[in-house]
């Protein structure tokens, strides 16, 4: 499978009056963790928000410093990668999907600063069935559902 860097499209149907940041974060949560329990979905949202906070504290970061840029940064959240089987699905999912409704609630809480962080500051994670290059030799700080979470990854 050949994957190309690009800016994935933003869904054209915003859900409620939430705005694009909440919509993109909810779709990221859904694309990355729809098979996880609520705590696992919250952990993905917290990881995104930890990246946003880290970038804003530094005055910017290569992955972006807002929710949309962080979620769609190339090769960061695979559900947004061109060629990923989740991309078409996450662009099409709507409020009739119960899991997506949960992701919207979590995204609203996260963007408003009302979501507790079950990851203890993690900025990276991966599914336990894979070992990405950046995780080799590192110890995860949390295991939540089927994901391992890390912090202090450059």
Tokens, residue 86: 């989740």
* Range in 15-19, 37-41, 96-100 with the lowest mean pLDDT: 15-19
CA distances 15 to 7, 11, 21, 107, 120, Å, are 21, 10, 11, 12, 29
- What string of DSSP letters covers 50-109? HHHHHHHHHT--TT-SSHHHHHHSTTTSGGGSTT-HHHHHHHH--TTSHHHHHHHHHHHH
Give me the pLDDT at residue 13, please.
42
Give me the pLDDT at residue 17, please.
54
Mean pLDDT along residues 132-141: 95
Mean pLDDT along residues 43-49: 97
The domains of the chain, with CATH numbers, are 20-120 (1.10.10)
């Amino acid at each position: 499978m050949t994957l190309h860097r690009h800016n994935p499209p933003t869904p054209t149907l915003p859900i409620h009056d939430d705005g694009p940041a909440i919509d993109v974060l909810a779709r990221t949560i859904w694309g990355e963790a729809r098979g996880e329990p609520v705590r696992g979905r919250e952990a993905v949202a917290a990881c995104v928000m930890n990246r946003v906070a880290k970038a804003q504290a530094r005055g910017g970061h290569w992955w972006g410093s807002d929710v949309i840029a962080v979620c769609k940064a190339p090769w960061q959240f695979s559900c947004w990668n061109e060629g990923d089987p989740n991309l078409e699905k996450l662009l099409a999912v709507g409020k009739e999907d119960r899991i997506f409704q949960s992701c919207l609630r979590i995204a609203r809480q996260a963007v408003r600063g009302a979501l507790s962080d079950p990851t203890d500051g993690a900025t990276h994670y991966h599914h336990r069935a894979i070992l990405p290059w950046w995780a080799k030799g590192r110890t995860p700080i949390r295991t939540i559902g089927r994901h391992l979470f890390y912090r202090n990854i450059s």
